[in-house]
Amino acid sequence: MLRPSVDRTAMGNDSSPTDDLRLFQTGGHPCGYWPERSARDLVLDPRDPRLPDIYPQALDWGFRRSGDLVYRPHCAQCRACVAVRIPVAAFEPDRSQRRCLARNATVQTRIATARRTSEHFALYQRYLGARHRDGGMDGHGTAEFDQFLVGSWSDTRFIEMREAGEDGPGRLLAVAVTDRVGSGLSAVYTFYDPELPERGLGTLAILHQIQWAQREGLEHLYLGYWIQDHAKMDYKRRFQPLEAFDGRRWRRFTG
């Protein structure tokens, strides 16, 4: 159950228009990254009609969106989750990332409206079955897809990545679910063909999100949380320069 836990320090030093913003603290639940640990989160009031306007500022406070909830880890004994973002104007791909772009030079991309199609859902199920088997998410149906990835109030887009076909776009390879937020983008979730590891589709998705932000003159791509020594989260440090939120301000990442 959520219980009110108004925490002004968690929201920085800003005054209005968020002085009356309500926060809730969840009860303990299994950590999504370290299942043997218990976790808690701070959640912005999901009933607040200002949530679409507050969301960009919340990202600057280290929060993240999952479905219609905007949350931040708030665990008593653990500070492993560190919010990170890429200042896209300064980003330069490294050798490995340039090779990834070259390997996928024929991949066609399209920024599409965030809505479920049978093609999206089939790829999502294949991805969860390979990457999250027996983890709970592999049982997601269409309702969970819509709630988790489409949302009801966010300005969300799907970056579709496809093989080049002879007569136009070919097979769907990956979808990068991305929020357009103020002066930046937020990487919400990416799912892709699990049988093509050599393509590096997860890396490719971030590179295309960076390119999108650069084209539009946006400042940041928010990547969610980096966790030291966690195999599934450590890839984020390879995108440089990277900034990390220390609870008060954003600093150059040194992890």
226, 247: one domain = yes
Of 57, 80, 103, which marks where a domain is finished? 80
Burial 88-111 (b: 16+ CB within 10 A, else e): beebebeeebeebbeebeebebee
Q: What is the mean pLDDT of the chain?
A: 89
pTM (predicted TM-score): 0.90
42, 156: one domain = no
Query: How many whole angstroms separate alpha carbon 91 and alpha carbon 101?
Result: 15
Per the structure, the count of domains in the chain is 2
pLDDT score for 5: 37
48, 119: one domain = no
Per DSSP, helices labelled H in 7-117 are 51-60, 95-103
Looking only at the bridges linking them, the beta strands covering 220-226 and 184-192 are parallel
73, 130: one domain = no
**Per-residue pLDDT averaged across 73-87, rounded?**
94
pLDDT score for 46: 93
101, 183: one domain = yes
What range defines the domain where residue 241 resides? 85-252
- Which residues touch 50 (CB under 8 Å, ≥6 apart)? 17, 21
Of 35, 59, 80, which marks where a domain is finished? 80
Residue 155: closest CA among 55, 49, 11? 55
Of 80, 98, 133, which marks where a domain is finished? 80
Query: Is residue 4 pLDDT above 70, yes or no?
Result: no
Which band of pLDDT confidence, cut at 50, 70 and 90, is reported for residue 228? confident
175, 235: one domain = yes
9, 53: one domain = yes
**Per-residue pLDDT averaged across 73-98, rounded?**
95
Of the ranges 13-27, 70-84, 156-170, 207-221, which one carries the lowest mean pLDDT score? 13-27
Query: Is residue 8 pLDDT above 70, yes or no?
Result: no
103, 15: one domain = no
110, 76: one domain = no
> Could you report the per-residue pLDDT of 9-27, keeping only the tens digit for each?
344 444 455 668 899 999 9
Is residue 151 exposed (0-12), middle (13-18) or buried (19+ Cβ within 10 Å)?
buried
Q: For position 138, which CATH number holds?
A: 3.40.630.30
Is residue 208 exposed (0-12), middle (13-18) or buried (19+ Cβ within 10 Å)?
buried
219, 162: one domain = yes
Query: Is residue 169 pLDDT above 80, yes or no?
Result: no
Side-by-side strand order, sheet with 69-73: 3-4, 23-25, 41-44, 69-73, 64-66
37, 117: one domain = no
> Could you report the per-residue pLDDT of 171-191, keeping only the tens digit for each?
999 999 999 998 999 999 999
